[in-house]
Amino acid sequence: MPYEAPTHTVERSLRATTGAKIVAGVDEVGRGAWAGPVTVCAAITGLRRPPEGLTDSKLISPKRRTALAEELEGWVTSHALGHASHEEIDEMGMTAALRLAAVRALEGLPVRPDAVILDGKHDYLGTPWRVRTVIKGDQSCVAVAAASVIAKVRRDKMMAELGIDHADFGFAANAGYPSPVHRAALAERGPTPYHRLTWAYLDALPQWRHLKKARSWADGNVPEIEGQLGFEF
């Protein structure tokens, strides 16, 4: 399907309005999966023309996405990935786990960004990072789109490797998301060592419901998120 190529519009605006010189695009993958980590990529691209076909990773075929990720890793100025494991997700909840993974990615960059463009509506990163959220930023912002593709390909590879000893779950194809194959394997075999055990899918599996863990963070004990830059696009 045709799509509008991402641009540097938001990054240029950030540079003009905040004085930021180094801007990182940040995107996550794995938030809605039932198994495996959540992965965040932070990418710095500058204002150069991006590779042809760059857009949200979900809009690109797996074959093209893999090739594009390899090209992007050589094209971006710098990038880094951060992960929060399924155990960390169970322990602290998704918002805090996303923040942990994002901080790991940003701190893995060789230079500290002056500002961050974060895909989506909600700022899960907060202070001390200067954040601007952009809905569908993975389609409209070059740096976020690059982060989207790199994160998706890296996490898919991780899930395929984790699934080698759990072939019935189809992790190489579904990356831990609830596909029909994944659901059927769960019902028959129960969760693997990589499943998130605080999640509601276990409520629908009576024979495995006893494995569900209580959410220690359900009382609202989640870090406050601050630092949002008050601009909309």
Q: Which residues partner with 41 through β-bridges?
A: 27, 81
First to last CA, the chain: 24
Which parts of 22-95 are beta strand (E)? 23-29, 38-44, 78-84
Q: β-pairing, 115-119 with 131-134?
A: parallel
| 114 marked as part of a ligand binding site | no
| 28 marked as part of a ligand binding site | yes
Q: Interhelix angle for 62-75 vs 142-162, to 10°?
A: 120
- Whether residue 7 contacts residue 134, with contact meaning beta carbons closer than 8 Å, is answered with no
- Whether residue 182 contacts residue 170, with contact meaning beta carbons closer than 8 Å, is answered with yes
CA distance 157 to 222: 30
CA distance 146 to 86: 25
Residue type, 117: I
| Residues across the chain | 233
| 27 marked as part of a ligand binding site | yes
CA distance 9 to 29: 24
- Whether residue 197 contacts residue 212, with contact meaning beta carbons closer than 8 Å, is answered with yes
Annotated binding site for a divalent metal cation: 27-28, 119
Annotated binding site: 27-28, 119
